[in-house]
A and B are shown apart, each in its own frame.
Chain A
């Protein structure tokens, strides 16, 4: 818990997040229209999505399965009976005049998300509920000076609204929450987590209170679409509330928007939020009854999830919690690491983790490549680590070889041979070089007698003489022996 120090004393933030996650499914929640992103406007709209007269919703079982799998991933209670309700309001991109959502009886109840904090510690954040609902269409205000256009491709696409308990106390924790949730959804394959395309959107509920005191009035900042903005919006809104409270004012419960350009939140126009949604059970849909056997079957089919994988990496590979957290954040990264460790000869898991995180991911980031497109795969990187392990090359050489591998796509051994980089570990050859350096530099030998640290100078000379190919460990040993 990080406290904010104000002039009148300290305050703590109380943060809850509502995340809208677009469900990965072929077709929409209540119609057969495609959900593909980026199609021509209004090309993926069924009669149901356009709310033509007399049209009726039919629930897509695949979307229900995704919600259940997500609920199970959140270690949450799956409600065997849930109810779809109508949330009524008028807007041109909401063709029915209501959104079909779940209100009093959501499909998923209480659960937990364990978030990973930068210091390697973890924290459990409670999940209040997860429910299924329809997305709205999109109003396009920039296509014509006088008119608004409406694209209904997204209308009716399934969303999961995942609501946390107000159990986060800093922007950092909120960021970690979204990162972890996104990671989990991707592992489960229930949401692609792409915040730029809007498949993951975040509403931030925030209030301030005196440490341990009663909850303050909260505001809701809607539709924040990146983790960075979530954190900035929290900082900005906390500052705003702090100023109000410190000057003796009261926070108004309201819906706000975050303006990333100005780095501040501002209230939505009151018209946009003055809704009485008049929820009531949708009479076109029967209550959703789930077979316990189906829920079990879905549970049995879940992949290994990030927390379990992390625990296994800690136990099996002896990694640090930091390294383990980084490696399991994305399923493909974890798979890459495991392929590296398990491939070929017995490889040192810690060394492999270091190389994966520092060198390999570093190269990915710098080049903009992905695991699929990268010129070096786990097999090739493994080849490099093997050369390092059997002292064929030094650590410094390994970095050079890796760079060359990334450039050319060739394997490590080829590059080592091409560049003649093979480390010299032959005692005779190295002994001759050491003898020559000692013989040529009697003054330095004198200095060494007074100060043994001067050995470093001799090592440097031997390395120079062998164009850096000498095995540094052996050079050290030979020098010590010969200098006495």
Chain B
């Protein structure tokens, strides 16, 4: 077995048993990253840094001081600020920006021994569901439809991270999920993506899109690998006022495989006529597997679900319009101006620095916060948000986790759905509810579409109950036995 075919847990164990060195593991992944360049999954490759970090890992392993992620090569979504390493947020406006600081989540990963392979491509400022809005070009999904050579999108916004993990370039990756940006690409690329509870992973040092909805979280190819990564990424951070001070459990230990007596909710509002039949079939299959595992299936109503997407597309742009005001050409990044007056400098810089989708959302956000429209849009959306959180609160009286499909479609072709922004926004229909309510949710591959593309299943859990989510996901993963491989695997 080549090192890139190992799971993260497998590589960890092989390193511990000295069957493999961190250098060998990293070299294999550096080569894979290089081989996978046609996917455009990375904005920046950091092979030299990766090898240095691997050498340091080997030294620590030799001294018996290995951390929980010692020597594990990861892709980092280029929304995480990394000290001394260019950070772009997928935007031209951060041109030349090299942070002097390291995000809390990545510094915890390095503390635990992980290795930085590079900065993964993403939709500009994480705004998108296809990775088509990146200023650094689209990412290609390593999967292709059966008998169809058209390039597919990996989903978004964490498209580069998902593609890198799916194509075996990295053992895991970080993503961020504001409306589905971890789970939807995980579904499109046949891997596992976990969005933890709001406040579980620090947002400090992660470029903000919509602060109340942004969730850092991991990608990996297995549920166990996700559990291992989450343990390192999670934790209270006094530098993030929305971080929550609760202990971080050993998530891997939660994978007991025993679901007996658990109640799983199946919400009727997630059954949409417009959704392809295969997605429903995979969902039904998931329900069956859980029944067989001893779960009680509970039909459920989350009555305000249909208002979630519109509320999300008010709140997220509103926050974004304010969060992105700091990119003004004054202190860092792009400045487009000679000796022009101030307003012209702002306009030229932001006009040139931001792409179309970012501009659209800034305009929507500015509009919904404007005098005279605030109550009709922003305030109403906040009320909807409360109602959605209440729906879930009521559901937790009856169930321990909720099972739904992750996305309303499989991966689509690059160029499809590009002319209608609203069609793209519909990609988030099943995922935004967990962001609005701040609940942990995971996507794992449940099966294939009729044309051979992966389809994800989503599990949503109680706040700070990632353990149940992971435990159920582990059993589903086992039952699904998802063995299909993408069209492109690095090094093959």
Contact = CB atoms under 8 A, between A and B. Distances in A.
Contact of B331 (A50, A148, A279, A285): A50
Most chain B CB neighbours (cut-off 10 Å) among A279, A283, A284: A283
A92 to B, nearest CB: 5
Interface string B365-384: 01001110010001000000
A11 interface: no
Interface string B157-177: 000000000000000000000
Interface string B320-360: 01101110101110000001001000100000000000000
A284 B242 contact: yes
Nearest to B382: A281
A90 B241 contact: no
Contacts of A88: 321-322, 325, 369
B125 to A, nearest CB: 10
Nearest to A280: B369
A49 B79 CA distance: 20
B205 A54 contact: yes
Nearest to A87: B322
A88 B369 CA distance: 10
Contacts of A53: 81, 87, 89, 94, 97, 99, 207-208, 326, 332
B477 interface: no
A59 interface: yes
Contact of A56 (B241, B324, B330, B346): B241
A146 interface: yes
Contact of B325 (A55, A92, A97, A146): A97
B235 to A, nearest CB: 15
A284 B339 CA distance: 35
Given A88-B322, A276-B370, A280-B378, A54 B103 contact: yes
Interface in A12-50: 47, 50
B239 interface: yes
A398 to B, nearest CB: 63
Interface in A259-296: 276, 278-280, 283-286
Contacts of A189: none
Contact of B322 (A47, A56, A148, A280): A280
B203 A56 contact: yes
Contacts of A111: none
A403 B99 CA distance: 65
B328 A97 contact: yes
Interface in A145-165: 146, 148, 150
Contacts of B339: 146
- Number of chain A interface residues as a range: 20 to 34
B206 interface: yes
B153 interface: no
B104 to A, nearest CB: 9
B319 A283 contact: yes
B299 interface: no
Contacts of B325: 88, 90, 96-98
A53 B328 CA distance: 12
A306 interface: no
A58 interface: yes
B203 to A, nearest CB: 7
A95 interface: yes
A56 B240 contact: yes
B211 interface: yes
A52 interface: yes
A286 B326 contact: no
B77 to A, nearest CB: 12
Contacts of B328: 90, 92, 97
A97 B318 CA distance: 14
A284 B202 CA distance: 11
B241 A278 contact: no
A466 to B, nearest CB: 79
Contacts of B89: 53
Contacts of B322: 86, 88, 97-98, 278, 280
Contacts of A90: 325, 328, 346
A57 interface: yes
Given A95-B326, A96-B325, A283-B211, A278 B366 contact: yes
A58 B241 contact: yes
Nearest to B243: A56
Interface in A467-482: none
B378 A150 contact: no
A51 B331 contact: yes
Contacts of B342: 92, 148
B363 to A, nearest CB: 13
B210 interface: yes
User: A56, A86, A92, A98: which has the most chain B beta carbons within 10 Å?
Assistant: A56
Contacts of B100: 47
Contact of B210 (A56, A95, A146, A283): A283
A92 B100 CA distance: 22
A90 B203 CA distance: 24
Interface in A239-269: none
B326 A47 contact: no
A52 B322 CA distance: 14
Contacts of B464: none
Nearest to B319: A283
Nearest to B206: A54
Contact of A97 (B81, B211, B240, B326): B326
B203 A52 contact: no
Contact of B241 (A54, A59, A280): A59
Contacts of B318: 280
B142 to A, nearest CB: 29
B213 to A, nearest CB: 8
A286 B242 CA distance: 7
B370 A278 contact: yes
Interface string B235-271: 0001111100000000000000000000000000000
B46 interface: no
Contact of A284 (B99, B205, B241, B371): B241
Given A88-B369, A280-B318, A57 B241 contact: yes
Given A53-B207, A54-B103, 7 more contacts: A52-B99, A58-B239, A58-B241, A90-B346, A98-B325, A278-B371, A280-B369
Interface of A: 47, 50-59, 86, 88, 90, 92, 95-98, 146, 148, 150, 276, 278-280, 283-286
18 contacts: A47-B101, A50-B331, A54-B80, A54-B208, A56-B203, A56-B204, A56-B239, A57-B241, A88-B325, A90-B346, A95-B331, A98-B322, A278-B366, A278-B374, A280-B318, A280-B319, A285-B242, A286-B241
